[in-house]
């Protein structure tokens, strides 16, 4: 009944397009994705869900089924009714591709762009349709989950036009479309507040966490009134989700994003950072790809640029630990743990970027000289 909860819900929905007007507050991204799964299954009356290989959607008992990373899975029964489609990766995928990035993959020449759409997008969508056609009861899909940019998977961006086509295909099979904005939301991609906006789509359900509370345990699921109405089939309650303190925190985060212009900072520094990373890619034999939007960036390390063989774990740890020892913290991801995941605080400065670039170069010089 506390007014802060309603105020926060209004502030969140003001940032979202279309009929995304109903908010359920929870405590983590995994919990948000589990609730989205339940909503989709209740609303459609169907059970089967499709996600992409290389996706990460959580590690709780149900969301771990959505996750398609063997590294993040434990040996217990999970994923019942969940199917994984081929990942549309412009660097490692079957057909390469052009992406929404100031730096293209070395495999961009394997595709063409016409009308803002990459020719490889349809090929990956055809793979998605094979999963839908062979593995899903005809017309009985519950949901298709996708991250606008894959986070844990190593900052993988999809070929231009892929997500829009994939959403259309999923809906043709009766499914809802869920955008997992846990890592890409709240202005991090720079050009848009939400990552899905860069794909010219409007999801049926949006899940969000991490940035929403700037470190505070807070997450949310936003959907339409029609889909939310299905939750009236039983009582639903979350003890800590949307409590007055977390709501006040969430409101403050939205205020700071606006007042400090952190989205604009991502929009300005992102291309600068990425172009500097591209110079590193061209200079060092172990850097295969750099990519991303705003301040959601990735640098993929390889043993061989021609074969794209992932860098060995030992050399990767030399790079990762070396960067840390010189004062810069970066994440590590990708299916083989071969990608530096660069998602710094959205308040960093150009001087911070220059320092990070200098550190990366110093470490790569040392590792490549061995």
Q: In tens digits, what is the pLDDT along the chain, a chain of 370 residues?
A: 889 999 999 999 999 999 999 999 999 999 999 999 999 999 999 999 999 999 999 999 999 999 999 999 999 999 999 999 999 999 999 999 999 999 999 999 999 999 999 999 999 999 999 999 999 998 899 999 999 999 999 999 999 999 999 999 999 999 999 999 999 999 999 999 999 999 999 999 999 999 999 999 999 999 999 999 999 989 888 999 999 999 999 999 999 999 999 999 999 999 999 999 999 999 999 999 999 999 999 999 999 999 999 999 999 999 999 999 999 999 999 999 999 999 999 999 999 999 999 999 999 999 998 7
What pLDDT shows up at residue 207? 98
Pairwise CA distance, residues 279 & 283, whole Å: 6
Helices 350-368 and 262-283 pack at an angle, to 10 degrees, of 20
What pLDDT shows up at residue 237? 87
Taking the whole predicted model, whether its pTM rises above 0.85 is answered as: yes
Which class is 3-259 in CATH? Answer: alpha beta
What pLDDT shows up at residue 179? 98
Residue of 132, 222, 126 lying closest to 172 (CA atoms): 132
Where exactly are the structural domains of the chain?
Answer: 3-259, 262-368
Tally of CB atoms within 10 A around 305:
15
What pLDDT shows up at residue 276? 98
262-368 CATH pick, 3.40.50.720, 3.40.710.10, 3.90.1150.10, 3.40.50.300: 3.90.1150.10
Helices 313-325 and 350-368 pack at an angle, to 10 degrees, of 140
What pLDDT shows up at residue 1? 81
């Amino acid at each position: 009944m506390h007014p802060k909860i309603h105020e926060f819900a209004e502030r969140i929905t003001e940032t979202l397009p279309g009929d995304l007007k109903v908010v359920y507050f929870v405590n983590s991204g995994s919990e948000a994705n589990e609730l989205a799964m339940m909503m989709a299954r209740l609303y459609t009356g169907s059970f089967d869900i499709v996600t992409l290989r290389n996706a990460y959607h959580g590690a709780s008992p149900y969301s771990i089924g959505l996750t398609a990373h063997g590294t993040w899975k434990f040996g217990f029964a999970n994923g019942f009714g969940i199917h994984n489609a081929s990942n549309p990766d412009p660097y490692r995928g079957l057909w390469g591709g052009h992406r929404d990035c100031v730096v293209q993959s070395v495999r961009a020449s394997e595709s063409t762009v016409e009308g803002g759409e990459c020719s490889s997008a349809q090929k990956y969508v055809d793979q998605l349709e094979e999963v839908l056609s062979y593995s899903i009861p005809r017309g009985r899909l519950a949901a298709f989950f996708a991250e606008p940019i894959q986070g844990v998977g190593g900052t993988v961006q999809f070929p231009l036009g892929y997500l829009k086509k994939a959403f259309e295909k999923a809906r043709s099979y009766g499914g809802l479309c869920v955008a997992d904005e846990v890592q890409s939301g709240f202005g991090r991609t720079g050009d848009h507040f939400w990552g899905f906006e860069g794909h010219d789509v409007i999801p049926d359900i949006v899940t969000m966490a991490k940035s929403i509370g700037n470190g505070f345990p807070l997450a949310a699921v936003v959907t339409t009134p029609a889909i939310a109405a299905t939750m009236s089939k039983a009582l639903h309650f979350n003890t800590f989700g949307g409590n007055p303190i977390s709501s006040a925190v969430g409101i403050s985060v939205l205020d700071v994003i606006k007042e400090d212009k952190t989205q604009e900072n991502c929009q300005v520094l992102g291309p600068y950072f990425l172009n500097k990373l591209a110079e590193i890619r061209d200079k060092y034999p172990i850097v295969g790809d750099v990519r991303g939007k705003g301040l959601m960036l990735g640098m993929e390390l390889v043993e061989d640029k021609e074969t794209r063989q992932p860098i060995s774990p030992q050399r990767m740890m030399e790079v990762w630990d070396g960067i840390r020892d010189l004062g810069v913290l970066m994440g590590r991801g990708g299916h083989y743990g071969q990608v530096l995941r660069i998602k710094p605080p959205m308040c960093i400065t150009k001087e911070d970027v220059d320092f990070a670039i200098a550190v990366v170069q110093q470490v790569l010089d040392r590792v490549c000289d061995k």
